[in-house]
Chains A and B, each alone.
Chain A
Amino acid sequence: MTREEVMKKLNEIFCNVFDDETIVLTDSTNANDIEDWDSLEQINLIVNIENEFGMMFDMAEVSDLANVGEMADLIMRKQAE
């Protein structure tokens, strides 16, 4: 999967989790940009991302993520493993 495809899939996941079809992700999108993005939704996002991409993260990997771009980078790294 290319990084562009990863971002597209992440966008679909975000739209589903936040029930908002208007969300358009960029690399710099973070919790300040989406009103409902709180700690519980963060858990829901990670769970959905793990399920959709068929990979599991460890706690350290997800705790340091600053924005969606870093999440996409993490997925690319895990894909390559």
Chain B
Amino acid sequence: MNEYRFEDLKIGQKEYFSVTVTEEMMKQFLDLSGDSNPLHNDKDFAISQGYQNKVVYGLLTTSFISKLVGVYLPGKYCLLQGVDVKYSKPVYVGDILIVKGVVDELHESVKRAVIKVTIQNQDEKKVVKGKAEIGFLK
């Protein structure tokens, strides 16, 4: 786990990791959230709506932002204060995602970092883009 404090960060600093979305994650997210919508749980329904397969929950995909900021950038001293994301393309079980964060803004007066977040799939298509607003623990 990284241990960057506000003073350690520089504009443009990057961190990333990769993760494969599994059927088990979908099951766990269903249990956790209670979202039984068929788009995420019924392959035939999802295909009837024009998708290749069951669509991974958007909030499951964005949950990896929690790991990005809580473990990588800045890591230990992170206090997540806001997330703003857009879903550009669907994610499917088995997709290999690259979760990447870049320091985009540093506001010394209030110790706020803004991390630009992108999540790409194995075809290098952006599936999520957005930003995370980060405060810092003592």
Interface residues of B (CB under 8 A from A): 81-82, 105, 107-112, 114, 133, 135
Can you sample 26 A-B contacts with CB below 8 Å?
A: A42-B110, A43-B110, A43-B112, A44-B82, A44-B133, A46-B107, A46-B109, A46-B110, A46-B112, A47-B107, A47-B110, A47-B112, A47-B114, A50-B107, A50-B109, A51-B105, A56-B108, A56-B109, A57-B109, A58-B109, A59-B108, A59-B109, A59-B110, A59-B111, A62-B109, A62-B110
B82 to chain A, nearest CB (A): 8
Say whether B108 contacts A58, CB under 8 Å.
yes
Q: A47-B114, A56-B107, A58-B109 are in contact. List 9 more A-B contacts (CB 8 A).
A: A43-B112, A44-B82, A46-B110, A47-B105, A47-B107, A47-B112, A50-B109, A59-B108, A61-B109
In the assembled complex, A40 has its CB within 8 A of some CB on chain B? yes
A51 to B104, CA, bound (A): 12
A51 to B107, CA, bound (A): 10
A46 to B133, CA, bound (A): 13
